[in-house]
Amino acid sequence: MIPPASLRSVEMRGITKRFPGVTANDGVDFTAAPGEIHALLGENGAGKSTLMKILYGFYAPDAGEIRVHGTHKVWRSPGDALRAGLGMVFQQFMLVPSLSVVQNVLLALPPRGWRLDERAAASRLAAEAARYGMAVHPRAQVWQLGVGEQQRVEILKLLARGAGILILDEPTAVLTPQEAHSLFATLRRLADEGRTVIVITHKLSEVMAVSDRVTVLRAGRVVGTIPTARTSLWDLARMMVGRESFDLQDRAPVPPGPVVLEIRHLWADGDRGRDALRDVSLDVRAGEIVGVAGVAGNGQRELAEVVAGLRRPTRGRICIAGSTLAGADPRAAIRAGLGHVPEDRLGTGVAPHLSVADNLVLKRYREAAFGRGPRLDRAAVNEAARGLIEAYGIQTPSPDAPAGALSGGNLQRLILAREISAHPQALVAFHPTRGLDIAATEAVHRALLDQRPRGTGVLLISEDLDEVLQLSDRVAVLCGGRVMAVARPGDVTVEQIGLLMGGAREALSGTTA
């Protein structure tokens, strides 16, 4: 099902792309060779994705030329690039949720007649997926899959088309460390077969771990291209952002207050009908951050959704600031004082076609300050939005710009601004820095830490163990939908948490579960 790829080299010369009010790429030169993994490094907004969308035919350059294996190319659409052997996996996946994995892969292939042998295709897909270390169930419905599994389907779609040049936009943003390590092995196998692999990233550690060469972009221009073996984390940091460290401010001690989020004996089904949460009990107190660590698919999503009122529990109860919730009622959770930073910032966190201003007051538009009855006071809405845009550093052309046009980092700032400005008693933050660059991650971390002295309790769910240990006052580890242990970061190591994530409850002693 997955044909061999022909060798393809990439050469981009003098690429310039302008949008209203901004030059995304300014005379960029970029090359990538068959058999190499080439990292394109830079902060959010540096022009990485724009450059690769030009290579993929999504945008036409204002100046410059593209050569593939020495031949000059002018793309009219991504279809031209696909037929020439290029493929791109975007951060926002292009899958049909109501179809199965194998149906999505078949849908991506060129027409081959009226009859399709779906059973045979599923068998071949499973074998090829296992070969590349990306095993997924061919018959599973895409809507049932986690974001990491959906990414694998996107990669398999490109391999099924025989892509010789693979472009991956922030591929580890949706992966656990273990999954990222597996992906790196897959990418190396693809490169060893002669494919050209381009990885768009802002993560210095993964550049060092997987790439052969790295090109650094800053503000739309190339800072330099260098073999990865000849550079270091500090050199790359300096090239990317002009400074070497992004340290958080000191964490001032905050005495914990009363319980603001109480979870007791919680059970909930997953999308596939089996128990995803099993007798989970956990407290979050005012002024503390409780981190939840675990390998993807062990109940983190279901826990966040049940607390936020997006999924109904089968047993147990949730109390927010003393109010007991029946479940599956987001409005009741909001009224009780809950803020929610969801996993999918574009699909769930914002209404992408509404303006930035409307999204910022999305949970407060019923307040008298913003109008009466069905009519909003636009002046009041825009005034409030401008204050939040300035306070949280949201980079947007205007409050009237559609939220869906913002970068990932600015979307996350928007969501945090909206949730925090509502002065929640408790805040659920699910993967709050996934896919963000160093500066945006630092801003999100500071915003979360700032909630401690304000008396907000934060439930932080993240697969980034460093993030969990750095931010949390206490850490709970989930495995198989159960809380394996709760411990203070100073009393636990990454190795011990890793054992707990794998189900070894005995890894810690003297902890509560």
Q: What is the CATH number of the domain that holds 428?
A: 3.40.50.300
Distance, CA of 480 to CA of 23 (rounded, Å): 48
* Domain end among 192, 211, 241: 241
* Domain end among 241, 271, 290: 241
Domain membership flag for residue 152: yes
Residues in the chain, pLDDT under 70: 1-8, 44, 111-115, 173-178, 241-250, 272-273, 296, 328, 494-495, 498, 502, 504-513
Using CB atoms within 10 Å of the CB of residue 365, give its burial: 0 to 12 exposed, 13 to 18 middle, 19+ buried: middle
**One domain for residues 79 and 214:** yes
Residue (of 381, 460, 379, 377) closest to 416 by Cα position? 460
Distance, CA of 211 to CA of 198 (rounded, Å): 9
**One domain for residues 160 and 216:** yes
Please report the pLDDT score of residue 173 as a whole number. 65
64, two tokens: 């410059």
Domain membership flag for residue 406: no
**One domain for residues 45 and 93:** yes
**One domain for residues 18 and 163:** yes
Distance, CA of 291 to CA of 384 (rounded, Å): 31
**One domain for residues 236 and 336:** no
Domain membership flag for residue 273: yes
Which bin fits 170, alpha (ψ -120 to 50), beta or left (φ > 0)? left
Full-model pTM: 0.61
Distance, CA of 131 to CA of 229 (rounded, Å): 28
User: How many helices (H) does the chain have, and how many strands (E)?
Assistant: 16, 22
* Contact indicator for 394, 408 with CB cutoff of 8 Å: no
Please report the pLDDT score of residue 304 as a whole number. 94
* Contact indicator for 345, 298 with CB cutoff of 8 Å: no
Boundaries of domain holding 301: 259-349+424-507
Distance, CA of 380 to CA of 361 (rounded, Å): 10
Please report the pLDDT score of residue 114 as a whole number. 55
110, two tokens: 């060129």
**One domain for residues 204 and 342:** no
Using CB atoms within 10 Å of the CB of residue 71, give its burial: 0 to 12 exposed, 13 to 18 middle, 19+ buried: exposed
**One domain for residues 125 and 58:** yes
**One domain for residues 317 and 428:** yes
Domain membership flag for residue 394: no
Domain membership flag for residue 111: yes
Residue (of 271, 310, 344) closest to 92 by Cα position? 344
**One domain for residues 449 and 485:** yes
Long-range CB pairs of 191-195 (<8 Å, 24+ gap) are 191/35, 191/36, 191/37, 192/35, 193/4, 193/5, 194/5, 194/7, 194/34, 194/35, 194/164, 195/5, 195/8, 195/34, 195/35, 195/163, 195/164, 195/165, 195/166
**One domain for residues 232 and 263:** no
Distance, CA of 243 to CA of 2 (rounded, Å): 44
**One domain for residues 114 and 158:** yes
Please report the pLDDT score of residue 15 as a whole number. 96
* Domain end among 209, 241, 273: 241
Q: Phi and psi (nearest 5°) for 352?
A: -60, -25
**One domain for residues 333 and 277:** yes
Please report the pLDDT score of residue 39 as a whole number. 95
**Tally of domains in the chain:** 2
